[in-house]
Structure 1
Amino acid sequence: MITCRAFAGRRYAVLGLARSGLATVEALIASGAGVTAWDEREEARDAAMALGADIGDPLHIDLIGFAAVVVSPGVPLNRHPIAAHARTAHVPVIGDVELFAEARDELPPHRLVGITGTNGKSTVTALIHHMLEAAGRSSLMGGNIGLPILARDPLMPNDRGDGIYVLELSSYQIDLSHSLACDVAVLTNISPDHLDRYDGFEGYVASKARLFSLQHRDQVAIVATDDGPSKAVASHINHRLYRVSARDIDPADQARWPALQGPHNAQNAVCAMAVCRVLGLNDEEIERGLATYRALPHRMEWVGEAHGARWYNDSKATNAASAAPALAAFPPAPDQRLHWIAGGQAKGDGLAACRPWFGHVKQAYLIGEATEAFAAEIGHALPVDRSGDLATAVARAAANAAPGDIILLSPACASFDQFRDYEARGDMFRELVKALGE
């Protein structure tokens, strides 16, 4: 795990004991810090106590003298009373990524890449990590993806250079960071999302932009300027800046990268290419990494063929802006029709971002709470099947599909009406498709 001598002798409160919270408790205690931990779940409190933490709710203890309150990114600081309670005691509220930033001075020589954006940041993070590893560089992926960063062992340099930490950063993680100066910071795109946590869309944009304000003047910013808000962020960056665009990618080149099809993946690829050039990879290494990359689970993941159709799991598309590129990736052809499974718990942005691509869709199969709202919004633009649940949607799409057709789960909705999370939704989709072939 990652520890830091600077934490020794200090006391921290940790609120929220899921994976990153427990990893934080363990790393702080291993560093010699005192920890008071809390979670509403008794089993999580027991796990923290077994690691050596005291148990206490930070809302009900005197925080004066604490070094920080470390909260899970899921804690809504705009509504949760811990923010005001900590402010009264003059104690900062931070996240595990900020602890990692504070520990960097004690780590072996390394560089840090941070990727944020509304959509695509997971793919860009995984793609950069893959390209670096394929080129023989020492790389570790973390942040909002994979294992908690503090639970990982520190990277060691190799004969190709310093270790490189590649972190996916949500807006929440940026909000909870104060000293996170990325050697390379990336913005993929910005569209409305998580507005329940911010003072309007402007507040959400400001959270993304803050990643660049934390950088030093000799560090690098990379911004995909395919949308207006991202262009505006780029216009206020006054250190080393590279503007990139999906239009920079030659379609003939993209055709060689099997897991990076569609305009959204052109943007993902151009961001990753820019980062890897800054980090010293040559054109041959970059091309090899792009050609050998395999998609992350639930992100335009090719599941397989069943009933003559090709099935794709894009369960991670939890808003219309992230579902739209998936629809755009499959233009109609004589031997290819697109069947679209959508719906769940709507986020309030409707399907406006998807409307330009309705012409690609042969039929939509709607599920979950959003069924009637989405059906009304689609109107007569394309045929709609009110399937209700995922199993019914899969069965009906399979029955209607012809050989060569595409069946795409890209919900444009959160999953919480019918599933624990988008991963559970995607896992069930995979199992349902697998059962069709049995």
Structure 2
Amino acid sequence: MEIDLAGYDGVIVSPGVPLNRHPIAAHARAAGVPVIGDIELFAQARSELPAHKVVGITGTNGKSTTTALIHHILKTAGVPTLMGGNIGLPILSRDPLPEGGVYVLELSSYQIDLTFSLDCDVAVLTNITPDHLDRYDGLEGYAASKARLFAMQSPDHVALVDFQAEADHAVLDMAPDGLGCLFLDDVPVEGQENWPALQGPHNRQNAACAIATCRILGLEDDAIEQGLRTYPGLPHRMERVAEKDGVLFVNDSKATNATATAPALAAYPLIHWILGGRPKTDDLDDCAPHFDHVVAGYTIGEAGPMFARILKDAGKTVTESGTLRQAVRDAAAAAKPGEVVMLSPACASFDQFTDYEARGEAFRAAVEAL
């Protein structure tokens, strides 16, 4: 039975609905009805809210950390703030902020596709690499979706943009004349060694996003530094679980492919690397540039034998531990003070765990049991 959409104000869908192939999109077009999401509802409600600002963060990688970091810095500085969008609780489920508050929204390309009037005071694009190409007409279609975040801004607002994304995809072409623009590459980042949860070159860019955004919002550098220093990190993403006998244990269970694991390997010079699970590829090529940081490998799960061969061929010492609990024991026994035991599996979790969160919790429990 087909639904007659004539006369409706709009159709609200989850960002997970693939509009390029779901029949609701054609029905809505035929009826002249817009298809929108919860972020567009928030945008339409803004005029009824106490005076506030909105920061929108998009990009292929780094947007969750950047969103959480900006929110933490603002909160630490005493600014009323809420975090939502593609992270945490839905923004429409929260009570409105008081006057002077800042909404910090992580925005996936899917959410931007369903949004038409979100005028961000500060819009951030972390980077663009191939992703979700089953939903778009190639990489350029995906980049164009991200670029719409700038097209919705007013000229007196600010865009923070990864220079490479602009050079490769001209993401500012649709932006209004007069929009303020700052390239992330031009933001100085000093003192990263003092921010425990923000190590590695990828977190240097995340910090640049947060520093520039918070300065635009009017925060002083001392307040920003306090937030950077105290940021706890996201669960299961380079999460510092414990330090035992001088050995740091890091949970990076969210790294479900080699591309996601590579920045974690780059972040520390002496790593006992626990990896494996259900493989998405048959190589570790994206991680290879950082193999010099690997003291030894400890493989688990379905990918264990394959990854063990790759690491041995690269001249690395490997223990085929099989299970995560055993891998933690093996790595802890071998690690020396000043070294890091890191779970960064470069694999999906579904061979031994229900999801990456369960895998990360198991790692934390195994460390606590040492």
TM over 0.5: yes
Q: Could you say which residue in structure 1 is the equivalent of 2:218?
A: 280
Q: Give 3-state SS (helix, strand or coil) of 1:393's partner.
A: helix
CA 1:343/1:97 → structure 2, altered by over 3 Å: closer, same or farther? farther
CA distance in 2, matches of 1:359, 1:414: 24
* Match 1:196 to one of 124, 134, 139: 134
* Match 1:406 to one of 336, 340, 344: 340
CA 1:194/1:372 → structure 2, altered by over 3 Å: closer, same or farther? farther
Q: Give 3-state SS (helix, strand or coil) of 1:112's partner.
A: strand
* Match 1:338 to one of 271, 278, 281: 271
Q: Could you say which residue in structure 1 is the equivalent of 2:185?
A: 245
**Unaligned regions of 5+ residues in structure 2, if any?**
none
Q: Could you say which residue in structure 1 is the equivalent of 2:7?
A: 65
Residue 407 of structure 1: how far off its partner (Å)? 1.0
CA distance in 2, matches of 1:374, 1:186: 36
Residue 328 of structure 1: how far off its partner (Å)? 0.7
2:166–2:172 CA contact under 8 A, matched in 1: no
CA distance in 1, matches of 2:56, 2:139: 22
Q: Structure 1, residues 139-189: CA drift from partner, whole Å, max 9, x if none? A: 1111111111000000112xxxx2110011112211221222211100112
CA RMSD of aligned residues (A): 2.6
Is 322-331 or 299-308 further displaced after alignment?
299-308
Counterpart residue type for residue 53 of structure 2:
R
TM-score by length of 2: 0.89
Q: Could you say which residue in structure 1 is the equivalent of 2:69?
A: 127
2:55–2:123 CA contact under 8 A, matched in 1: yes
Q: Give 3-state SS (helix, strand or coil) of 2:194's partner.
A: coil
CA 1:246/1:220 → structure 2, altered by over 3 Å: closer, same or farther? closer
**Unaligned regions of 5+ residues in structure 1, if any?**
1-58, 332-336
Whether 1:428 aligns to 2:370 is no
Whether 1:118 aligns to 2:56 is no
Q: Could you say which residue in structure 2 is the equivalent of 1:81?
A: 23
Q: Could you say which residue in structure 2 is the equivalent of 1:380?
A: 313
CA distance in 2, matches of 1:262, 1:397: 22
Residue 350 of structure 1: how far off its partner (Å)? 5.1
CA distance in 1, matches of 2:7, 2:323: 52
Q: Structure 1, residues 23-58: CA drift from partner, whole Å, max 9, x if none? A: xxxxxxxxxxxxxxxxxxxxxxxxxxxxxxxxxxxx
Residue 110 of structure 1: how far off its partner (Å)? 0.7
CA 1:189/1:256 → structure 2, altered by over 3 Å: closer, same or farther? same
Counterpart residue type for residue 284 of structure 2:
L
Q: Structure 1, residues 295-335: CA drift from partner, whole Å, max 9, x if none? A: 1211211000347531101122233333211111112xxxx
CA 1:265/1:392 → structure 2, altered by over 3 Å: closer, same or farther? same
* Match 2:123 to one of 185, 203, 213: 185
CA 1:197/1:394 → structure 2, altered by over 3 Å: closer, same or farther? farther
Whether 1:356 aligns to 2:289 is yes
CA distance in 2, matches of 1:190, 1:345: 26
CA distance in 2, matches of 1:212, 1:309: 44
**Sequence identity percentage:** 63
* Match 1:108 to one of 45, 50, 61: 50
Q: Give 3-state SS (helix, strand or coil) of 2:336's partner.
A: coil
2:246–2:337 CA contact under 8 A, matched in 1: yes
CA distance in 2, matches of 1:165, 1:349: 41
Q: Give 3-state SS (helix, strand or coil) of 1:302's partner.
A: strand
Q: Give 3-state SS (helix, strand or coil) of 2:313's partner.
A: coil
* Match 1:155 to one of 80, 97, 103: 97
CA distance in 1, matches of 2:281, 2:138: 13
CA 1:155/1:309 → structure 2, altered by over 3 Å: closer, same or farther? same
CA distance in 2, matches of 1:168, 1:82: 25
1:224–1:245 CA contact under 8 A, matched in 2: yes
Aligned residues: 366
Residue 358 of structure 1: how far off its partner (Å)? 1.1
Q: Could you say which residue in structure 2 is the equivalent of 1:221?
A: 159
Q: Structure 1, residues 279-303: CA drift from partner, whole Å, max 9, x if none? A: 0111222222222222121121100
Residue 190 of structure 1: how far off its partner (Å)? 2.1
CA distance in 2, matches of 1:230, 1:302: 35
Q: Could you say which residue in structure 2 is the equivalent of 1:394?
A: 328
